[in-house]
Structure 1
Amino acid sequence: MGLLRRFGPLTRQELSRHLGLTEPAITGIMRRLADAGLVSGKKRPTTAHYTALEFSLQADAAYSLGIRLGAHGGEAVVMDLAGRIIQQRAFAQPEETKEAVLHIRHAAGLAGKLLGCGIALSAGAPFDRKTIEDSLALDVGPLFFLDDTEAAVNAEHILGIGDREGGLVIVIIDETVRAGLLIGGRPFRGVHGLAGQIGDMRSGVDGASLNEVASLPSFKDYLAAHPGETDGWVAIAARHLHEAVLAISGFIAPGAILVGGALPDDVFEAIIARLSRERDDKIRDLVIAPWIPTVQRASFPWAGVAVGAALRPFSETLLPDDRP
């Protein structure tokens, strides 16, 4: 089902190549999924004499909710089985979460089964799981909690850039700067679940931390002191972020490094352009620099945190669990 969600309709032969299973085995699997109402088959349009049967997901067979929740609000989404976002609503305060969920459920008019709700929490969120459970108090099925960095890397892995050789890293910039890591197809959290907390990393001649010079609060402070001018902040933030990219590349050597979060789109584009120039400068000076991946924009708005949260109920109930 994960293959059908990522690649669209596939034949038995194509599924066999992807999974390394025999076509009779694929036939049995697809028959069980069809009996459950999760997939359907039809002849693939072709001018050839032989027309293969291709299988696709029944998008309206099941749905999930995903919530990105932080100290200053978030967003709620409804996702169908095919991975499409069919309703979305942002909210400014955590107390508005329940209203947002009620709105998107009503607007979506869900015909299929609601499998549950994934809730992605930002680091340092000022509420615990029990408080969230009590505040929702809705019939949304089981709740699945995860960190926002894990949600972001899952969104990229499953619906975004995919499984890159060497893994991937996604840097989220909002109230703090932090990173999600995907290594060997699995989110990496570290022994204490704190892997990727790079916001306190100090770099540059000024020894400033990323939270001090590359976060959303630092951007707002700069704008307050320099109305309408962002170039200075971008230059400082990109210089310090590039030091983090160098450190990550040296230890992990990921196949891709992405950035996303709460900054305006044009500011993210300016940071990425500046990081590219920093990388080019290193290539002229360092032999190792060509191994530094080019930083890219995340595939989804807000780094795909709500998307990744909505994927969790599917992985817990219908799809193979890729987590350790």
Structure 2
Amino acid sequence: MVRAINRRSVVEAIAHHGALSRSQVARAVGLSKPTTSEVVTGLLAAGLIREAGSTHGTQGPKAVLYEVNDSAAHVIGIDLGRRWVRAAVADLSGRIIARHDERARLRSNQTLLDQIGDVARTVMREKGIDWPQVAQVVVGSPGVADPVRGVVMLPANLPGWERQGMIESIRARFEAPVKIENDVNLAALGELTQGHGRQTGDFAYLWIGTGVGLGLVINGRLHRGAHGLAGEIGFLPITADPEFAATRWPRWFASPAVQEATDRLAAAREMTNPPTLRTVFSLARKGDPLAREVVDVVAGLVARAVSTVAGVVDPEMIILGGGVGHNGDLLLHPIEMALRSLTPLSVQVVTSALGTDAVLHGAVGTATSAAWDTLLAESATSEND
């Protein structure tokens, strides 16, 4: 374990500072020169770092420089949603080198499971990558994976996804190690490393789309809770209707208040079917006053969630994401106005910097970190052998 920790420290130092010599690595990580030399030699043998030229323009003999070998392995991140399935392959720096997006095939669980494997193989073929070169796959899915029971709990917008053996069925589509993570948690992690979360270690990512969820980052770390269910705020009684609040799945936007507002819009515009929220936001953006009334009702529900989170967690920032949450141009102002009447607490509300790619970036980042853990542990163990 100590050898693996030392190797991670060396890799992180080289990744942060750029190409370094052995003596520069020793100073950067605080290891002795003999220990540093041993670690560097082991990393070279494992192919995790490589030579990158030599020092020049200094007194004394030239020293070999070393850089991280980002192409030593690859990772795959997958965002599995109700409407889209997105996949990306990245190198060990987390840099995405290929991606593929396609509409979700929801005819059956089997169809969707097959699609997950298909999109992974599609991005691999684009770069000529084979399974032995893939160190980790991370799948972002609605719900919370329970590896003990082998099920996905509370997959609100994927009916049947909670059946027994689903986790093994997902893993069977890949020939590499697989982790299944909650999609909203991954979106929060993506925002932490590449979005607004870089500015603070305390924030909440509020996902508002087909389902509703929350990713909590406290002191720079994802907070999962005792059972992995932290952030399942779709089950909070946000609406004032007790019967609606007791429904099984988080369908805030099917609440009586939203339905009444959309019915008025549909009647006034002579629509044959109630408009979707996507249509509502489109009309509101064009200046339709009745559509803006619906937006205000939706913003009121979001403001209740924001005020609840602010009072319990006190985050520095709440980031809005998901299909509804991305409409910040229409939502942020009415949310701010509603918050003034709901709470005296101050909280900054912004829309996601990563948009619809937040889950995918979180999946890639999580896969990269897990891949390095595995590769460094394996290299340390193989040296012992």
Between the aligned partners of 2:277 and 2:367, the Cα distance in structure 1 is 40
- In the alignment, structure 1 residue 250 sits paired with structure 2 residue 304: no
**In the alignment, structure 1 residue 78 sits paired with structure 2 residue 102:** no
Using the alignment, how far apart are the partners of 1:238 and 1:7 within structure 2?
42
In the other structure, the counterpart of 1:122 is 142
Deviations 1:260-306 (A, max 9, x none): 223485x2343235445556x579x94x42xx2x2233232325212
Match of 2:233 in 1: 198
How much identity, in percent, do the aligned residues show?
A: 21
Distance in 2, Cα, partners of 1:277 & 1:52? 62
- Residue 29 of structure 1: how far off its partner (Å): 4.1
Written as runs of structure 1 = structure 2, the 5 A alignment for 1:63-212 is 63-91=74-102, 92-93=104-105, 94=112, 95-110=114-129, 113-123=133-143, 124=155, 125=158, 126-127=160-161, 128=163, 130-131=165-166, 133-134=168-169, 137-161=172-196, 166-203=201-238, 211-212=251-252
In the alignment of these two chains, the number of paired residues is 312
Q: Which amino acid aligns with 2:356?
A: W
Matched, 1:58 2:78: no
Equivalent residues in 2 for 1:252-291, closer than 5 Å: 252-263=313-324, 265=326, 267-276=327-336, 281=340, 286=344, 288-289=345-346
Deviates more, 1:9-18 or 1:295-304: 9-18
> Per-residue deviation at 1:78?
1.0
Q: 1:170, CA displacement in angstroms?
A: 1.0
Change (3 A) 1:67 1:276: same
Partner of 1:296: 350
Q: How does 1:17-56 map onto structure 2 within 5 Å?
A: 21-22=30-31, 24=33, 28-40=38-50, 42=52, 56=67
Q: Which has the larger radius of gyration?
A: 2
Matched, 1:232 2:293: yes
Higher fraction of helix: 2
Q: 2:88–2:100: 8 Å Cα contact kept in structure 1?
A: yes
Secondary structure at the counterpart of residue 262 of structure 1:
helix
Q: Deviations over 1:7-30 (max 9, x none)?
A: 5726579977986x3474666544
Higher strand proportion, which one? Answer: 1
CA contact (8 A) 1:5 1:82 kept: no
Gap regions ≥5 residues in structure 1: none
Q: Please, which runs of 5 or more residues in structure 2 have no aligned partner?
A: 1-7, 106-111, 144-154, 263-274, 285-290, 375-385
Residues 90 and 364 of structure 2 are in contact (CA less than 8 Å); yes or no, is this contact kept in structure 1?
yes
Q: 1:28 to 1:195 in 2, by over 3 A?
A: same
TM-score norm. by structure 2 comes to 0.64
Query: Which position in structure 1 is the counterpart of 2:373?
Result: 319
C-alpha distance in structure 2 between counterparts of 1:232 and 1:107, whole Å: 46
Residue 264 to residue 258, structure 1, CA distance change in 2 (3 Å) = closer
CA RMSD in angstroms comes to 4.3
Q: Cα 1:47–1:116, aligned 2, differ >3 Å: closer, same or farther? A: same
Compared CA separation, residues 227 and 167, structure 1 to 2 (3 A): closer
SS of 1:193's partner is coil
Does structure 2 conserve the Cα–Cα contact (< 8 Å) formed by 1:66 and 1:119? yes
| Separation of aligned partners in 2, 1:179 and 1:34 | 42
- Could you tell me whether the CA contact under 8 Å between 2:213 and 2:231 is conserved in 1? yes
Worse overlay, 45-54 or 123-132: 45-54
1:101 Cα offset (Å) = 1.9
Contact residue 121 and residue 147 of structure 1 kept, 8 A:
yes
Give the stretch that moved more between structures: 117-126 or 183-192. 183-192
Tell me the distance in 1 between the aligned counterparts of 2:252 and 2:202.
Answer: 28
Closer/same/farther in 2, CA of residues 131 and 86 from structure 1, 3 Å limit: same
Deviation string 1:148-207 (CA, Å, 9 cap, x unpaired) is: 122222223344445665522111222111001122333222223221111233447778
Q: Which residue of 2 aligns with 1:9?
A: 18
- Aligned partner of residue 181 in structure 1, secondary structure: strand
